[in-house]
Amino acid sequence: MERTHVLICAGTGCTSSRSLELVKRFEEDIKFKELDKEIKVIKTGCFGLCQKGPIVAIYPDKVFYSHVALSDVDEIVSEHLYKGRPVKRLEITDIDENTKEQIFEFEKIRFYAKQKRIALRNCGLINPEDITEYIALDGYQALGKVLTTMTPQQVIDEVKRSGLRGRGGGGFPTGNKWQFAANQVNDQKYVICNADEGDPGAFMDRSILEGDPHSVLEAMAIAGYAIGSNHGYIYIRAEYPIAVERLKIAIGQAKEYGLLGENILSSGFSFNVEIRLGAGAFVCGEETALIASIEGKRGMPKVKPPFPAVKGVWGKPTIINNVETFANVAPIINQGADWFSAIGTEKSKGTKVFALGGKIVNTGLVEVPMGTTLREVIYEIGGGCPNMKNFKAVQTGGPSGGCLTEAHLDTQIDFDNLVALGSMMGSGGMIVLDEDNCMVDVARFYMDFIVDESCGKCSPCRIGTKRMLEMLTDICEGRGTLETLDKLEQLAIHVKDSSLCGLGQTAPNPVLSTLKHFRNEYSAHVVDKKCPAKVCKSLLDYSIDKEICKKCGLCAKGCPTTAITGTLGKVPYEIDPAKCIRCGACVTNCPFGAIIRA
Amino acid sequence: MKSLDELNKIREEALKRVTLRQSDAQYRIMIGMATCGIAAGARPVLKAFMDAIDKDKLPCIVQQTGCIGMCIHEPIVEIIDQAGTKTTYLDVNVARAKEIIDRHLKHHEVIPEYTYILK
């Protein structure tokens, strides 16, 4: 019998901080102390608190350890697992705001207290490579319920009633999508899971597939039953090797248990799932481009209509849902549409997973009910900006979204509120920017990404984004004028209005939203030729404060262009702006902080 | 697998392995496993509890805890129910453990002569 489980995160974040070596070390150590019959080490998916990885959780004690190093294993095993004394110095703790006391229970620490986990319900709790653990926590019950007690139309009605909307960015009602495909009369239909997560900084789909792959497989089978399809594709990028591997294992186990394949649970319904690897093109997240890629063609979008629900992969009716959308389906069937629709706001039901990144204390994965404010996510769960820096903006929705400011922090997050503010929820990337980030530079970063990823089929996106990038580069390098800003804004609106697919239609959002909310920063770049955040190198001037300079010469020594002159111990040093390449090496080298950057 | 019943059977079998990670155990059994506890024979007591839970499929979890300061009365076993009421048994040996399992864990009856009750 097992009395203790040691859960070690094997998601991408913790794996890269060597959590797999920890697994090995724990197993060896536990065996050495002859505890291996009563203590089991289990690899799980993401706990969400990636910032503090590798994470090790001990159940039933519910002790969470963070930043666990190989050298800590012996102490945890001999102190905690053998003698029952948790190693306090490694525990994740928080301070209770009211009593000022230290909190050790992980459910009560602020990072977890505000969260509600539906899509991530099993991540960090079960071993994703063991189907029986998923089954233990009500896995495949929804599929069983659907196959034995519900008609396909009842399934669609339940999903419709739940108010579930697509989590990939569009926010289209999932039930309606299923209905369109179900209404088509055809000998073959398909279910596609879109796992081509491409937004920089977003990793929720990856974490769900790594931590709970069966939740997606189960939902795909349910969708197949609802629309009358017996074949599913998971389109996932090859750059997610762990997710692909666990999916393969999951599909194999589900087939072995008869939960995928022919005649599932003797119901006469059959469903098979195939993995298709993408090469990591952003545009292949767009559904028609994704379909082209599955068919072996170049990933380029097509004009809609016909919509995929009518004419999708191989010309057959197809539904395409995002990973997170699928992860919500089984709980909706199990607990009912009323339960789900009671969570969230009027038009956005349920929860949303966000990948918190950028200048934030708790980088990681959080799932909150719709209607939670940006302030709660960023400050209470995320812990605010590190190093006492001031918050400047939050970028939501990746390259398709926009930047929101301090003034928007009390906005309730849902599909419609963010769109109204010129951003979008997108797939759930949330990148926090502080006073050291230049908004023009941020807009340029996203435009650079879009120029790389534009497929080139339609000219507004292919040429328009390239021209926008050039203008943004001009602004960052001091060649911009007020006229450039007007042109940029106009072009952005044109690209938005005339591009073929979602990629081009949303690509100008980062530019438009920063122009709207941070126009003064753009003006500073083009009028004063200054970058207020001191990011744009070409607009910086370096000089040396003669009063502070100790004439040590370290700055001159480190200068790669010999732009700094002076005499050791006698004449204060000076920078020749004509030679200076603004690399900042002198700032790092000066022990006295005498270099002024303005 | 051919039916929903089979799925449920697998679920029940597997559930036993993950109950540790859920908080709906009927009793939490805390065993003092500091140096004093181990020296006084806490490990055989721990094993006795674990074997009984395994054999009789009791909805209980076993946890270890450190020294609570009454080393003279080790091995000490605390049994905490869902309401949080704690019963502390002192000087537990394997024979007493068996009695506690039978009377307390199975029949929900506190054994006063071995206890020290804290609310």
H-helix or E-strand containing A272?
A: strand A272-278
Higher pLDDT, A326 or A169: A326
Determine, for residues B3 and A265 on separate chains, whether the beta-carbon distance falls below 8 Å.
yes
B104: Cα within 13 Å, side-chain hemisphere:
29
Going through A383-457 in order, the beta strands assigned E by DSSP cover 391-396, 402-405, 429-434
Residues in chain B with CB shorter than 8 Å from the CB of A85 are 34, 65-66
Q: Please determine, for residue A192, whether its predicted confidence score (pLDDT) is greater than 70.
A: yes
The residue of chain B with its CA nearest to that of A124 is B21
pLDDT for residue A240: 94
Determine, for residues B7 and A2 on separate chains, whether the beta-carbon distance falls below 8 Å.
no
pLDDT for residue A72: 94
In a domain, B2, yes or no: no
Number of domains comprising chain B: 1
H-helix or E-strand containing A223?
A: helix A213-227
Taking residue B5's Cβ as centre, other Cβ atoms within 10 Å add up to 11
Lowest mean pLDDT among B33-37, B43-47, B114-118: B114-118
- What angle do helix axes A439-453 and A509-517 make, rounded to 10 degrees? 170
Q: What is the mean pLDDT of residues A520-539?
A: 93
Burial A131-153 (b: 16+ CB within 10 A, else e): bbbbbbbbbbbbbbbbbeebebe
Determine, for residues B1 and A3 on separate chains, whether the beta-carbon distance falls below 8 Å.
no
Determine, for residues A132 and B10 on separate chains, whether the beta-carbon distance falls below 8 Å.
yes
In a domain, B8, yes or no: no
Determine, for residues B17 and A136 on separate chains, whether the beta-carbon distance falls below 8 Å.
yes
Q: Could you read off the pLDDT of A6-25 as tens digits, one per residue?
A: 999 999 889 998 999 999 99
Cis amide leading into A399 (omega within 30): no
pLDDT for residue B67: 81
DSSP string across A514-569:
HHHH-HHHHHIIIII---TTS--GGG--EEE-TTT-----HHHHH-TT--EEEETT
pLDDT for residue B117: 56
Determine, for residues B17 and A2 on separate chains, whether the beta-carbon distance falls below 8 Å.
yes
In a domain, B65, yes or no: yes
In a domain, B75, yes or no: yes
| Nearest CB to A83 within list B18, B30, B66 | B66
What gap in Å lies between CA A528 and CA A534, rounded to an integer?
Answer: 13
In this complex, how many residue pairs, one in chain A and one in chain B, have their CB atoms less than 8 Å apart?
90
| Nearest CB to A133 within list B3, B14, B54 | B14
Determine, for residues B64 and A258 on separate chains, whether the beta-carbon distance falls below 8 Å.
no
Q: How far apart are the first and last CA of chain B?
A: 49
In a domain, B9, yes or no: no
At position A326, the amino acid (one-letter code) is F
Determine, for residues A136 and B31 on separate chains, whether the beta-carbon distance falls below 8 Å.
no
The Cα of B79 is separated from the nearest Cα of chain A by a number of Å equal to: 14
A570 touches B at CB < 8 Å: no
The Cα of A132 is separated from the nearest Cα of chain B by a number of Å equal to: 6
Cα separations (Å) of A372 from A337, A376, A386, A390, B32?
A: 21, 7, 22, 22, 43
At position A511, the amino acid (one-letter code) is V
8 Å CB contact between A344 and A182: no
The Cα of B25 is separated from the nearest Cα of chain A by a number of Å equal to: 10
pLDDT for residue B1: 79
Taking residue B26's Cβ as centre, other Cβ atoms within 10 Å add up to 12
Taking residue B58's Cβ as centre, other Cβ atoms within 10 Å add up to 17
Q: What is the mean pLDDT of residues A249-255?
A: 97
pLDDT for residue B23: 67
8 Å CB contact between A595 and A556: no
Closest CA to A395 of A369, A424, A375, A366: A424
Residues in chain B with CB shorter than 8 Å from the CB of A83 are 33-35, 38, 64, 66
Q: Please determine, for residue B22, whether its predicted confidence score (pLDDT) is greater than 80.
A: no
Closest CA to A525 of A464, A493, A533: A533
Which position has the token pair 């703790």?
A93
Query: Any bridge partners for residue A402, and if so which?
Result: A396
pLDDT for residue A389: 93
The Cα of B17 is separated from the nearest Cα of chain A by a number of Å equal to: 8
A141 touches B at CB < 8 Å: yes
Q: Which domains are delineated in chain A?
A: 4-108 (3.40.30.10), 131-339 (3.40.50.11540), 351-434 (3.10.20.600), 439-528 (1.20.1440.230), 541-597 (3.30.70.20)
What gap in Å lies between CA B40 and CA A237, rounded to an integer?
Answer: 58
Q: Could you read off the pLDDT of B54-98 as tens digits, one per residue?
A: 888 888 888 888 887 888 888 999 998 888 888 899 999 999 999
What gap in Å lies between CA A144 and CA A222, rounded to an integer?
Answer: 9
Which CATH number is B48's domain given?
Answer: 3.40.30.10
Determine, for residues B50 and A1 on separate chains, whether the beta-carbon distance falls below 8 Å.
yes
In a domain, B49, yes or no: yes
The fraction of chain A above a pLDDT of 90, given in percent, is 79
What gap in Å lies between CA A414 and CA A371, rounded to an integer?
Answer: 6
What gap in Å lies between CA A1 and CA B94, rounded to an integer?
Answer: 17
- In sequence order, the 6+-apart residues with CB closer than 8 A to the CB of A213 are A128, A243, A246, A247, A249, A250
Lowest mean pLDDT among A102-106, A164-168, A198-202, A253-257: A102-106
Determine, for residues A83 and B38 on separate chains, whether the beta-carbon distance falls below 8 Å.
yes
For the beta sheet containing A318-322, the strands, ordered from the edge strand earlier in sequence to the opposite edge, are: A272-278, A231-237, A190-195, A318-322
In a domain, B72, yes or no: yes
Q: Could you read off the pLDDT of A405-427 as tens digits, one per residue?
A: 999 999 999 999 998 988 888 88
What gap in Å lies between CA A15 and CA A210, rounded to an integer?
Answer: 11
Q: What is the mean pLDDT of residues A228-232?
A: 97
In a domain, B34, yes or no: yes
The fraction of chain B above a pLDDT of 70, given in percent, is 95
The residue of chain B with its CA nearest to that of A58 is B21
Determine, for residues A60 and B21 on separate chains, whether the beta-carbon distance falls below 8 Å.
yes
Most confident stretch, A184-188, A545-549, B40-44: A184-188
Confidence of residue B119 (pLDDT cuts 50, 70, 90): very low
Q: Could you read off the pLDDT of A301-322 as tens digits, one per residue?
A: 999 899 999 999 999 999 999 9
A1 touches B at CB < 8 Å: yes
Taking residue A591's Cβ as centre, other Cβ atoms within 10 Å add up to 9
| Nearest CB to A59 within list B11, B20, B53 | B20
| Nearest CB to A148 within list B4, B17, B38 | B4
Closest CA to A219 of A95, A343, A98, A134: A134
User: Under DSSP, is residue A368 helix (H, G, I), strand (E, B) or coil?
Assistant: strand
pLDDT for residue A177: 96
Mean pLDDT, rounded, of chain A = 93
Which position has the token pair 């991530």?
A120
Determine, for residues B1 and A132 on separate chains, whether the beta-carbon distance falls below 8 Å.
no
A35 touches B at CB < 8 Å: no
Q: Are strands A318-322 and A351-358 parallel, antiparallel or unpaired?
A: unpaired
The residue of chain B with its CA nearest to that of A132 is B14
Confidence of residue A269 (pLDDT cuts 50, 70, 90): very high
Assigned token pair, B50 = 């674990």
User: Under DSSP, is residue A349 helix (H, G, I), strand (E, B) or coil?
Assistant: strand
Determine, for residues A7 and B21 on separate chains, whether the beta-carbon distance falls below 8 Å.
yes
Determine, for residues B11 and A136 on separate chains, whether the beta-carbon distance falls below 8 Å.
yes
Q: Please determine, for residue A54, whether its predicted confidence score (pLDDT) is greater than 70.
A: yes
ipTM for the whole complex: 0.81
Query: Any bridge partners for residue A433, and if so which?
Result: A393
pLDDT for residue A525: 95
Taking residue A592's Cβ as centre, other Cβ atoms within 10 Å add up to 12
Tell me what percent of chain B is helix, strand and coil, each rounded to the nearest 5. 50, 20, 30
Confidence of residue A107 (pLDDT cuts 50, 70, 90): confident
What gap in Å lies between CA B90 and CA B73, rounded to an integer?
Answer: 5
H-helix or E-strand containing A502?
A: helix A502-506
Higher pLDDT, A98 or B9: B9
What gap in Å lies between CA A506 and CA A488, rounded to an integer?
Answer: 15
Residue B101 lies in domain: 23-118
